[in-house]
Structure 1
Amino acid sequence: MAGNPLNSNRPLRVIIIGAGVSGLLMGYKLQRNFDDLDFTIYEKNPDVGGTWYENRYPGCACDNPSHTYVWSFDPNPTWSSTYASSSEIFEYFKRFQFRSNLGEKTKISHQVVGAKWDDHAAKWEVEIKDSVKNVLMRDSCDVLVNAGGILNAWKWPTIPGLHDFQGKLVHSASWDQSLDLTGKHVGLIGNGSSGIQILPAILPQVSKCTTFIREPSWVAVAGFAGFEPRRFEKAEKETFARDPGALLKFRRWLEHNMNKVFPLFIANSPAQEQSRELFETSMQGVLKDPVLEDQLIPKWAVGCRRLTPGVGYLQSLKHEKTTVVYGEISRILPRGCAMEDGSEHPVDVLVCATGFDTTFKPRFPLIGPHGRQLADDWKDEPRSYLGVAAPGFPNYYMFLGPNSPIGNGPVLIGIEAQADYICKHITRIQQQGIKSIEVTKEAVDDFIDFKDIYMKDTVWKQDCRSWYKGNTADGKIVALWPGSTIHYVEAMQNVRYEDFKVRYFGNRFNYLGNGMTKTEMMPDADLARYIRTEDDAPIIGSKFVYAKATPEETSNDVSFETLTSSPSAKL
């Protein structure tokens, strides 16, 4: 009989855009899970690492405990401290690239500048700029995965006169490593995550720092065992390296307690009310200044915008070198900043810790069937399916797309869930004669409707300006998942193929082939592997089975009182 056996592979090619955290993981997953599949990772920077390669400003560090900022399967016993620096995190992912043999699959200094779907060939035609040779090249693939990230397209603030400034102008995400701040009067714009890390780090070098703050922000100032900002002792690191079980126990304890935080994001919940009281009391205890307290302590709920661990930040605001200027900057002058109240503040160096373009639009023309561009579809609102797919764009997947779990709990396990979900799609494309898979508009509309209703009862909906809402105070929540991180991971375990339009090369059942399986074609295969002495098969129905926490985890559960007043509360 003609045909291949069941579960045969057709050769497949995948292009991954970006060699940051998500892109490297996708490459690892493809190598681990597939035969007869070729892929290339195109990275615009001179090295891998994404945001951890680009962000090297003073004080830059992870705001999650470092032992939770690793892949679930790839611990790092040598972290130096609770909150690792950006350079240390970069080295972790660089080692991951090396150990996973992804170097030859990664083309650095190659920026994807365009992609267009060829429906006849069922392929993406991709245009790439080789930045070293300054030439354009072309590639094609059956599946296109955008792992370009959401926090690496930095932007200048839209303040009139910004580029008229005659001193040194620098953005936190494009830091000039040769910049010497010794004895300089520095102006710092912004009190988000970057600004809060920068101020304490530069204060010892500068002569003065004028920090411009236009909005309040919740700042976690306390800590507790396991989450407090500290350096790990040599003996601790040796124990972690020598005893993987001890490290696993510590990592599970951290992750367990980070996942317990989610209820504080529910408006008016006991956890939220307790968190607000604790944050307010702790900030007042450090500031001890009615004016600063009124300016810096928010009226909106804890977690409405991204929570911030402020190690030394509030203390730095009260330092004799620091001047706090509250309000809107009306214009940048050649030698400083002019405020809306008419006051002027001269500075030598102006640091803009003003964030990123978080519109979720691709940073290149992504053209689907019939000439549609995703940027046009998303000009008013980015609308994705579970953060990984978009209607009208077949065989196209993304990491950390709109409404992903980026502020709902631990981050990397959500990225792992997305990678596994994409791999399930690729498996079907490869083995079932599928020409294209495309999520339907109806499925996305229903998901967005559900999400919008759910968000009404969360603190994220309150009146605070946040990039979760497209840098607005009252817009729709486009960045976050409607639930916890654990909720997302479980929701992504099974693919709802009824939400997708699937097209085939010929008869949809051609994949059944010659009536035999790949296993049967192997001369030494076990053809009775399903015979066993007990039923150890996984539950496939609705019977509820869950993994219980270990006694060590539950006996050391962190209460909301301690957890929400610690630096780890910024998820």
Structure 2
Amino acid sequence: MADFVVPSTSRPESEAEHRLKGPVHAQRHVRVVCIGAGASGLLMAYKLQRHFANFSLTVYEKNPEVSGTWWENRYPGCACDVPSHNYTWSFEPKLDWSAVYASSREIFQYFNDFARKYGLHKYVKTKHQVEGAYWNHEKGGYDVKIRDLERNTAVSDHCDILVNAGGILNNWQWPAISGLNKYKGVLLHTANWDDKIDLRGKHVGLIGNGSSGIQVLPTIQPHVQQLTTFIREPTWVSPVQGLEQHVFSDHERLEFATKPNALLEYRRNVERGLNGQFGIFLKGTNTNNETEAYFRQQMHDKLKNPYLEERLVPNWHVGCRRLTPGVGYLEALGKENVNVVYGEIHEITERGCLCDNGKEYPIDVLICATGFNTSFKPRFPVIGPSGKNLQDVWKDEAQSYFGIAAAEFPNYLIFLGPNCPIGNGPVLSAVECQADYMCKLIDRFQTNNISQFAPKVEAVADFIAFKDQFMQKTVWHDPCRSWYKQRPDGPITALWPGSTLHYIEAMMEVRYDDWEIKYNGNRFAWMGNGYSQTELDPTADWAYYIREHDDDEPISRGRKLQIINRSGTMQGNAGVAFSGVDSKESNRTAEAKL
């Protein structure tokens, strides 16, 4: 009997047909494109490398170096407002941070060293900026258009799964003030700093009192001849975590490096303190009321100026805007060479700023600490299978699923998307659980004949409805001007409706009933040729389930969590109680720990 030969003109083998020849859950090749090599993009590369085989990855980064915002932001005084030992990956401590609040240069070094240690640079193409992503109806996945910035040439790529790790605080913007192009002096933005500019002996103007403005002012104040700061609204300024700035001594760094568990316990104590603060953001709690009273007193004590106190201390709740540790900021406002101009800038002139008080303020250097475009709308077209552009869909309000995906845009995942814990807890912990969640989706995609996965429209709608209802009882709902929302009375698009610990637990398992999943062929093609993965491994124990006692991992969610969070190992954490009513005694305990 002659062998059966497939004619060369036969159709290509489908994904489902190919799977029928292999074992259950065969791992097909997956092509991933990641946008951005900042902290999130580097973590994604690390996770894929550590947990997956049979994949390819390219990370496109517009900057000449990795580390994203920590490479871009290098203005004087630039630092992180999260304690340095807790602005690391949970599994990757740094022994020799210089101080409690580290500079942007140190943080850049941390992420750059992380990439070097694990060989992540091999995945990264720097000086490459993504300009668009378009769903491919024949192959599935996205055709990605990239600009090689060094050669100014167009580059094309294709991926099964597209991960946007571009971040939210990296698309800096000039202030919306007329006449900016008329100014004849030196114009700077904190996120596009020119290191060659010497501010010594200059009359410097500073627009903005957000995080960047609060950091840059006390740093440059001792070196400039005159500093005029333009402030249009109040803001709460104080060390948020109860941790004042402190330079670590040689002895402290030596103990962190050599004493068993010294650094681990320090990091855990700080993290417990950070995770015990959620009550600050809930209206009417003792935590919020006492924190506001403390902040108010601190600001009055440091300003010592009735005029400034009246204008700079807010009348809305603590936490409505992002809380910023103002190391030396309030004290600097009272220095002899600092002039505070409160109100709106009417226009920028050739010489300086013309304000709504009718006065023009001539200045040599104008620094704009005016932040970023925080609309969450992608900076480039993302076109899904329906032909819709996510830029248009999110034009008025960005609505995501748990901050990681958008309905009707399959195989597209987002780090730090709308409504995840960006400003209400340890952010890198949230990034880690996002990466793990994405890896679970990628694993499901790789080991099944899935063609598309995206959150269901109704799941996103229900999540947004839940979020909006929850936010009404938070301080973020107050009518302050904040990047957490696009307008003072608008919906809160940046924050998660809960604490960071709440987010981590919500993200532990993928709720596949919230996802729209489409298959290539029969959905059970993943079952393959009847063989298991174990039978393909001659070094595996083919009777691994035969035991002398039950050592299974917990099945129920509650028992799993008790193992993960080491339930029973603590005497009692401080913070908000289960009922949502906090304890004054617990708050005092938290402050004592910090």
Shared fold per TM-score greater than 0.5 = yes
Amino acid in structure 1 at the alignment position of 2:276 = K
Partner of 2:412: 396
1:498-537 alpha-carbon deviations (Å, 9 max, x no partner): 1111111110001101112111111121122223343332
Matches within 5 A, 1:39-50: 39-50=57-68
Partner of 1:6: 24
* CA spacing shift, 1:201–1:144, aligned 2, 3 Å: same
Looking at structure 1, the residues matched to 443 and 257 of structure 2 have their Cα atoms a distance apart, in angstroms, of 36
Matched, 1:229 2:245: yes
1:304-343 alpha-carbon deviations (Å, 9 max, x no partner): 1100101000000000010000000000111111111211
Q: In percent, how many aligned pairs have the same letter?
A: 53
Partner of 1:494: 509
Partner of 1:528: 543
Moved more, 536-545 or 2-11: 536-545
Measured after TM superposition, the shift of residue 242 of structure 1 is 1.8
* CA spacing shift, 1:147–1:272, aligned 2, 3 Å: same
Matched, 1:29 2:47: yes
Alignment counterpart, residue 316 of structure 1, candidates 309, 316, 332? 332
Measured after TM superposition, the shift of residue 244 of structure 1 is 5.0
Alignment counterpart, residue 498 of structure 2, candidates 483, 486, 491? 483
Residue 240 of structure 1 aligns to a residue whose secondary structure is helix
* CA spacing shift, 1:329–1:5, aligned 2, 3 Å: same
Matches within 5 A, 1:74-473: 74-220=92-238, 227-470=243-486, 472-473=487-488
* CA spacing shift, 1:464–1:358, aligned 2, 3 Å: same
Residue 261 of structure 2 aligns to a residue whose secondary structure is helix
Moved more, 47-56 or 499-508: 499-508
Looking at structure 1, the residues matched to 186 and 449 of structure 2 have their Cα atoms a distance apart, in angstroms, of 58
Q: Is the 8 A contact 1:14 1:40 kept in 2?
A: yes
Q: Is the 8 A contact 1:384 1:402 kept in 2?
A: yes
Partner of 1:547: 566
Amino acid in structure 2 at the alignment position of 1:289 = N
Residue 201 of structure 1 aligns to a residue whose secondary structure is helix
Measured after TM superposition, the shift of residue 564 of structure 1 is 7.8
Structure of higher CA gyration radius: 2
Looking at structure 1, the residues matched to 114 and 449 of structure 2 have their Cα atoms a distance apart, in angstroms, of 33
* CA spacing shift, 1:244–1:352, aligned 2, 3 Å: farther
Looking at structure 1, the residues matched to 518 and 221 of structure 2 have their Cα atoms a distance apart, in angstroms, of 60
Looking at structure 1, the residues matched to 268 and 298 of structure 2 have their Cα atoms a distance apart, in angstroms, of 28
Measured after TM superposition, the shift of residue 438 of structure 1 is 1.4
Measured after TM superposition, the shift of residue 152 of structure 1 is 0.4
* CA spacing shift, 1:60–1:514, aligned 2, 3 Å: same
* CA spacing shift, 1:92–1:2, aligned 2, 3 Å: closer
Looking at structure 2, the residues matched to 282 and 349 of structure 1 have their Cα atoms a distance apart, in angstroms, of 31
Q: Is the 8 A contact 2:231 2:343 kept in 1?
A: yes
Partner of 1:560: 587
Q: Is the 8 A contact 1:389 1:439 kept in 2?
A: yes
Measured after TM superposition, the shift of residue 547 of structure 1 is 2.3
Looking at structure 1, the residues matched to 156 and 39 of structure 2 have their Cα atoms a distance apart, in angstroms, of 25
Looking at structure 1, the residues matched to 49 and 585 of structure 2 have their Cα atoms a distance apart, in angstroms, of 38
Q: What is the TM-score of this pair, normalised by structure 2?
A: 0.92
Alignment counterpart, residue 517 of structure 1, candidates 518, 532, 546? 532
* CA spacing shift, 1:561–1:340, aligned 2, 3 Å: farther
Moved more, 511-520 or 396-405: 511-520
1:128-171 alpha-carbon deviations (Å, 9 max, x no partner): 11111110010000000000000000000000101111000000
Looking at structure 1, the residues matched to 440 and 574 of structure 2 have their Cα atoms a distance apart, in angstroms, of 38
* CA spacing shift, 1:238–1:21, aligned 2, 3 Å: same
Measured after TM superposition, the shift of residue 542 of structure 1 is 4.8
Q: Is the 8 A contact 1:7 1:518 kept in 2?
A: yes
Amino acid in structure 2 at the alignment position of 1:340 = D
Measured after TM superposition, the shift of residue 439 of structure 1 is 1.2
Matches within 5 A, 1:64-83: 64-83=82-101
Moved more, 115-124 or 448-457: 115-124
Q: Is the 8 A contact 2:241 2:274 kept in 1?
A: no
* CA spacing shift, 1:555–1:405, aligned 2, 3 Å: closer
Q: CA RMSD in A?
A: 2.0
Moved more, 241-250 or 49-58: 241-250
Looking at structure 2, the residues matched to 246 and 565 of structure 1 have their Cα atoms a distance apart, in angstroms, of 18
Amino acid in structure 1 at the alignment position of 2:223 = Q
Residue 194 of structure 1 aligns to a residue whose secondary structure is helix
Looking at structure 1, the residues matched to 189 and 73 of structure 2 have their Cα atoms a distance apart, in angstroms, of 10
Measured after TM superposition, the shift of residue 78 of structure 1 is 0.8
* CA spacing shift, 1:222–1:448, aligned 2, 3 Å: closer
Q: Which runs of 4+ in 1 moved over 6 A?
A: 555-558, 562-566
Amino acid in structure 2 at the alignment position of 1:181 = L
* CA spacing shift, 1:565–1:550, aligned 2, 3 Å: closer
Q: What is the TM-score of this pair, normalised by structure 1?
A: 0.96
Residue 219 of structure 1 aligns to a residue whose secondary structure is coil
* CA spacing shift, 1:244–1:56, aligned 2, 3 Å: farther
Residue 204 of structure 1 aligns to a residue whose secondary structure is helix
Number of residue pairs matched by the alignment: 564
Moved more, 155-164 or 521-530: 521-530
Looking at structure 1, the residues matched to 241 and 508 of structure 2 have their Cα atoms a distance apart, in angstroms, of 34
Looking at structure 1, the residues matched to 88 and 571 of structure 2 have their Cα atoms a distance apart, in angstroms, of 21
Looking at structure 1, the residues matched to 111 and 585 of structure 2 have their Cα atoms a distance apart, in angstroms, of 29
* CA spacing shift, 1:222–1:127, aligned 2, 3 Å: closer
Looking at structure 2, the residues matched to 537 and 301 of structure 1 have their Cα atoms a distance apart, in angstroms, of 48
Moved more, 149-158 or 369-378: 369-378
Q: Is the 8 A contact 1:111 1:128 kept in 2?
A: yes
Q: Is the 8 A contact 1:223 1:229 kept in 2?
A: no
Q: Is the 8 A contact 1:221 1:283 kept in 2?
A: no
Looking at structure 1, the residues matched to 354 and 165 of structure 2 have their Cα atoms a distance apart, in angstroms, of 40
* CA spacing shift, 1:192–1:562, aligned 2, 3 Å: farther
Measured after TM superposition, the shift of residue 551 of structure 1 is 5.1
Measured after TM superposition, the shift of residue 84 of structure 1 is 0.4
Residue 59 of structure 1 aligns to a residue whose secondary structure is coil
Residue 397 of structure 1 aligns to a residue whose secondary structure is strand
Structure 1 regions of 5+ residues with no counterpart? none
Measured after TM superposition, the shift of residue 221 of structure 1 is 5.0
Amino acid in structure 1 at the alignment position of 2:238 = A
Partner of 2:4: none
